[in-house]
Amino acid sequence: MRIALAQLNYHIGNFELNTRKIIDSIILAKQKKVDLVVFSELSICGYPPRDFLEFKDFIQRCTDSIDSIAQYCDGIAAIVGGPSVNAKKEGKDLFNSAYFLADKGIKKIIHKTLLPTYDVFDEYRYFEPNTHFECIEYLGERIALTICEDLWNINDNPLYVVCPMDQLILQQPTLMVNIAASPFDYRHIEERKKALRDNAEKYKIPLFYVNHVGAQTELIFDGGSVAFNHKAEVVNEMKYFTEDFNVIDTEDFDAPVLDFGFSTVELIHDALVLGIQQYFSKQGFKKAILGLSGGIDSAIVLALAIKALGKENVSSILLPSKYSSEGSVTHALQMLQNTQSPNDTIAIEDIVNTIEHTLQKQFENTTPNVAEENIQARARGMVLMALSNKFGSILLNTTNKSEAAVGYGTLYGDMCGGIAVLGDVYKTQVYELAKYINRNEEIIPAAIINKAPSAELRANQKDSDTLPDYAILDKVLFEYIENRKGPHEIIAMGFEAALVHRILKMVNTNEYKRHQTPPILRVSPKAFGSGRRLPIVATYLN
């Protein structure tokens, strides 16, 4: 059998686009004499549709689109992901389904059994789990068709009490097909391939896997669709972070290919570039602006945005105050010279003076503190948002994960924006990104990379005045956020007790800030946002 894997970039709710992409791929598959073309999970509507699934009109459009696609399935079969209606009164109203289309009709609908409800996933909110297992007979093959999570219950700590393939293998399938919407994080590629390989090894039949590619707000999908032979060898691995279309012949299935190899920093870089590009293109945005401070975070964001959108579409605004060092301004200008990108300079001292004069009576007889510092940050935010409103440019937030974790930022100041580019990248990783960006030529000036980080909201200020050294801070944050370890466990790893308690207290008391920040591009196993849900009003570790 000739099987085509269609790794496409879908747009949530854009039924015309999604349907056209699928039909075009079916036509291409016909030209290549393909027997079966496979598309990814919920491909008809995009993933994750979330509460759009509660609208009957949305479901009807899914159904209409699938009917349209079926008309092109003559002389070829297709597997397309989409929601389907649960005919039973009991249970949820919908299934997460895979439609098997052939002879211009729907021949079989297979439902997803294992519905993830953890991290960024919330599928049991909408879907009823499958309880009936059935293979698909087609051209002499018996296909065990599963959907994403259905193949993930194969580790030493299973999340579910049933394993769909254990049920399907009893029907003696000759191959497995898994359609997925598996979001990216920098660990996930190897974890995903291991889970898939483990299935091929356990059941000793070929496995074809198709994943989404592209980004949907904060979720990035890296593609990497793959096929394994019955020996659990990779015989076809598709591109990462871009659309792809491959044809595999099951008669020529004994030629393993080399796996793609990526460094962590390369994966993060490529994911962030794709995330920016997709956020803008799918929203219909063209132009971006950011505040360029002369520090490493804004320099990284500028470099990534230029890569994603083109230098002519990214404008940097320098917003110096009386506390801005001469070096920061010089370094920012050097970065702009290196990138040859649009820029402007707007001094904020007059704005700050006006606000302080306005508050003179209320602030009388008080000692200057963080309130005065934040006036500067909010003046910058006000200017940047005014430019965004006036010219339709989307403001790129430059806060990194270390800062977001401990609340080292100003609400409605440097924490504002349309999308947070580095909100899931620790400060130590930011430096690694800088080196990667400079791997072929100096884009980010060495002076920016080498100098001590500072918010420059008071004289001679350094981040280290307020925060522990980032090399230590990030390790503690990683153990708490990504690994979910408590204070006693972290202290037992050799970290100072007082420091650990201080850091964890900062994280938890600043939850309210993170609830008010822009969407954060997710690149780690545990990002701030929909995948990390903590109460604001709580006393745990506060």
What six digits make up the tokens of 45?
């509507």
Cβ atoms within 10 A of the Cβ of 540, count?
Answer: 9
3-state secondary structure of 246: strand
Given the residues 41, 141, 149, 456, select the one marked as catalytic. 41
In the chain, DSSP finds a helix count (H) and a strand count (E) of: 17, 19
- CB count, 10 Å around CB of 362? 7
Look at residue 167 and give its three-state secondary structure.
helix
Give the span between the Cα atoms of 37 and 80, in whole angstroms.
Answer: 9
Residues in the chain: 542
- According to DSSP, the residues that pair with 94 across neighbouring strands are 85, 127
DSSP 3-state of 185: coil
Q: Which residues touch 541 (CB under 8 Å, ≥6 apart)?
A: 487, 501, 504, 505, 507, 508
Q: Which of 301, 270, 238 is nearest to 5 (CA)?
A: 238
CB contact burial 454-467 (16+ within 10 A = b; e otherwise): bbbbeeeeebeeeb
Count of beta carbons in the 10 Å neighbourhood of residue 343: 19
Q: How far apart (Å, rounded) are the C-alpha atoms in residues 144 and 134?
A: 8
Whether 73 is a known active-site residue: answer no
Reply yes or no on whether 191 is catalytic: no
C-alpha span between 293 and 370 (Å, rounded): 19
Tokens of 323: 């506390």
- Of 45, 148, 163, 416, which one is the catalytic site residue? 148
Catalytic residue selected from 112, 193, 401, 427: 112
> In this structure, are residues 467 and 455 in contact, taking their beta carbons and an 8 Å threshold?
no
The C-alpha atoms of residue 95 and residue 74 are separated, in whole angstroms, by: 26
What CA–CA distance (Å, rounded) separates 494 from 479? 12
What token pair was written down for 186? 């920098």
CA-based nearest residue to 204, from 172, 180, 171, 235: 172
The per-residue b/e assignment along 508-520, b for 16 or more CB within 10 angstroms, e otherwise, is bebbebbeebbbb
Say how far apart CA 96 and CA 519 lie, in whole Å: 26
**Dihedral sign of CA atoms 269, 332, 427, 418 in order:** negative
- Closest CA relative to residue 274, chosen from 79, 64, 521: 521
For residue 521, give both structure tokens: 């591009």
Instruction: Kindly give the residue spans of alpha helices, DSSP state H, lying in 172-295.
Output: 188-203, 264-283
Q: Indicate if 505 belongs to the active site.
A: no
**Residues annotated as part of the active site:** 41, 112, 148
